Structure 1
Amino acid sequence: MRQYMPGLLDGAALDSSRIPFRVYMYWDQNPPTEIQENFDYHRQIQGLDYQVFNKDHATEWLYQNYGVEARGLFLGARHPAEAADFLRVHIMQLYGGWWLVAGGWWLVAGGWWLTPISGSGMKKALTSCANKLHRTFCC
């Protein structure tokens, strides 16, 4: 059983000028406080179609949308990050939108998305406009 984004194969016109305003995240089980706060932060953004998957939810979702083989491959992942990667490509294929790592914080303003990530003395920002992703590095 293969699923595709609605309109992809039925000839319906897709709005390819923008990425859908949907955000998905994954944490296998029992997120620590800082991860739960991140989930809560994104959940309160008005107009955002936001969904968090845990291992049980992801297992059932993959089975319902892609069948027993996808579920088996997901459950056979050697690490939660590997399972998240597998889930991500399937969700993006079916729904489109944005995938955020559970530790990423996004700000939404004026149609631009921006996420500051600090690490190793370098501040990184990932911005997007009209399906084009731009990665900016500054000190």
Structure 2
Amino acid sequence: MRVDKDYYVYFVDRLGDTFRWKGENVATTEVSQAITEIEGVQEANVYGVKVPGHEGRAGMAAIVLHPEHQPNFQKWYAHLASRLPSYARPLVLRLTKEMEITGTFKQKKAGLVKEGFDPSVVSDPMYFRDDSKKSFVPLDTEVFKKITLGSAKL
């Protein structure tokens, strides 16, 4: 619901999408807002991806950085940990040059969801949330294999 300046109350459409992870509903707009507060982040598109052997969808974020900015993944981890519950924090970050949008300027998610987080499919650099290191680490084929075999802690 929305209230205007004259205090009229209106019903509005649901904003954004949700996905379910670890038995909790995650609002992509809330996660996206937390990510775009990070210095150097220009735009973020948050969505859920399937992880073999797990129920629901894990959080993943495609991120466009401001030109000439380098990410500090320890600071990013700390910021997201202070703003979001553990189940809502993205498991994978994907750094991309630009975001695909529709004709009505909405971010496209379907292609990103379909590609998932397999390094043999995705050419953009990806980073996995490593809670033991309190940072994001490069997601390569070895890390991907650990995730899909269930030996990585999610």
Q: Give TM-score, length-normalised by structure 2.
A: 0.28
Greater share of residues in helix: 1
